[in-house]
Chains A and B, each alone.
Chain A
Amino acid sequence: MQDLLSSLVSVAFHGLAYGMILYVISVGLSVTMGLMGFVNLAHGVFAMAGGYVMLSAMNSMGIPFPLALIAAFIAVALASMVLERLLYSRLYTAGELEQVLFTIGLIFMSVAVARLVYGTLPQPVHLPEYLKGQLHFLGRDFPAYRVFLIVFSVSIVGLLWFGVERTRWGAMVRAAVDFRAMAQSVGINTSRLFTLTFALGSGLAALGGALGAEIIAIQPTYPFEHLVFFLIVVAVGGLGSLRGPFVAALLIGVADTACKYWVPEVGAFFIFIATIVVLLWRPEGLFGKAA
């Protein structure tokens, strides 16, 4: 009984940490897909880039962990802004196929660059001393880094929700998601809004990739390997919403951890089946608006 309880707690805890990372990475994808209707398969590229920026800042330049995190966010957000202006924005009105192909092309290119610069092996993660070790809590041990992950992600999520629900920028984003033409006609500069939102989403993905570098190893095949999970979070959660992907990410994080822990022989099988069932039941996702 005691064993069962402790394994339950452990699965819930690790699943929560994994789910939060998935959410921080994917939420930007949900917003950009909902806002611009752009099928951005290359979203994982930003997460990987964030991981690489943080790790090289820490490993080769000796920049401390918190600063390296910030650097990852800023560098990727700026780079994505350039990409958005130069390339993405030309394809907003194009068909789905073009967007899919274009973003697959981006993935290929980024995989090649990552391999050229960093080699094929996963990058080592050296956590700062204060995040190593265990935290005692309610008579149990929890790895300090995961606790930090959860707390940090929750605060980011809180900030993001506050931004979207309570600020003027958030109101503009919501207006544009709901009815782009109307938002435009009341004088919202939607193209600038898109660029800023895109940059924020990519920056968040970078932050997620950097934070989760210890859980999801940073290696060149990252954008391909984890694409399915990012997409599942968004598709199951519902496009353009913040709450939907949050629920979906936590469900997937916990379910995936539970499967790996108790029934490793079925792997991610259940998650895919569950995704199929959910999408057939509600093609627009759990919290998405019906088209």
Chain B
Amino acid sequence: MTHAGGYIADPRIRKIEWLPWVLAVLCYFVAPSYLPLGSYVLTMVIFALSLDLILGYGGIITLGHSAYFGMGAYVAGILAARLTGEPLLGLLAGTLGAGLLGLITGMIILRTRGLALLMLTLAITSVCYEVANKATALTGGADGLGGFTVQPILGLFKFDMFGKTAYLYCLVVLFVCWWLVRRLVYSPFGASLTGVRENNVRMHAVGSPVYQRLVTSYTISAALAGLAGALLTQTTQFVGLKVLGFELSGELMVMLILGGVGRIYGAFVGPLVYLVAQDYLAKQFPEYWYFGIGAMLVLVVMFARGGILGIIDAVIARLRRKSD
């Protein structure tokens, strides 16, 4: 896959990078009835960012990233149901829980490559799924975990039924995540990660600690996924087994590919386009929707490997050449 992203010499925030935030704030005022969908989109953007970090920058192909999302979701849910509904504490717990799981599993599985690695990511998710499915006392099993209340954020902002607080909450959390990921990707650490993706053997040859780099990025990515999971739990006040499913991992990958891999903003565009289209089409024409998703994946792989942003880049480049 042609990746556009990676180390750049001038990491200052360009003007256009403020555009998504302006749009997101505008949405809050313009489309109040779509705020629950908006919160979900923002949550999935965080999740997609976390996948982009390891897939787009680290080059690790995983079919089981929902393990960490689900871990965060369940930790936050169980915490709220058992101990306290304090949201920030829940976010922290979900992030740490998923990060720990990411560290442990990452240390184990990142020693392998290729099919074995793919298989291991899938197997780990399956184990998590089975555990959540069978530990009904803690997780509610197939019925899901609900019936807990999330306290107001900082004791000030109550979650309202229109999803206004939830939307802004997600937006703020996403902003922090974006800032972190951006710093990380444009740092020397991000550069070495890109190096691993582009040429693993050469990175070994120049003495880069490849394995440690991968484990570190995997842990951070897992923690971010957990954060997204916890966020979903708190904004929907429910956790279902779906958060650990293979379908979610697959869908997430589709969203990221659609937006563009290895370029932070692909993780913004993909979920937005995918989820809004899904909201319109999936309920009315479920069969056609799935067929369309599949066809789109095949077409992206065959013709447009940079996703939507890649296409935009190509068009801009062509226009520039013409005007010269």
B-binding residues in A (CB < 8 A): 33, 39, 87, 90-91, 94-98, 100-102, 104-113, 115-116, 224, 227-228, 231-232, 234-235, 239, 265-269, 272-273, 275-276, 279-280, 283-285, 291
Contacts and interface: CB of A to CB of B under 8 A. Distances in A.
B137 to A, nearest CB: 12
A249 to B, nearest CB: 15
Contacts of A104: 250, 253-254, 294, 297
Interface residues on B, range: 35 or more
Nearest to A239: B115
Given A104-B254, A113-B291, 11 more contacts: A100-B118, A101-B257, A104-B294, A105-B295, A115-B290, A224-B250, A228-B246, A239-B115, A272-B126, A283-B113, A284-B116
B162 interface: no
Dominant secondary structure at the A interface:
helix
Nearest to B116: A283
Nearest to B1: A97
Contacts of B131: 269
Which of B1, B115, B287, B302 counts the most chain A CB atoms within 10 A? B115
B112 interface: yes
Contacts of B116: 235, 279, 283-285
B295 A109 contact: yes
Contact of A112 (B61, B250, B253, B290): B290
27 contacts: A90-B302, A97-B55, A97-B261, A98-B1, A101-B253, A101-B297, A101-B301, A102-B298, A102-B301, A102-B302, A104-B294, A105-B296, A109-B290, A109-B298, A115-B287, A228-B123, A231-B118, A231-B122, A235-B116, A235-B119, A266-B134, A267-B133, A269-B127, A276-B108, A279-B123, A283-B111, A283-B113
Contact of B298 (A100, A106, A265, A267): A106
B96 to A, nearest CB: 23
Contact of B294 (A94, A108, A227, A269): A108
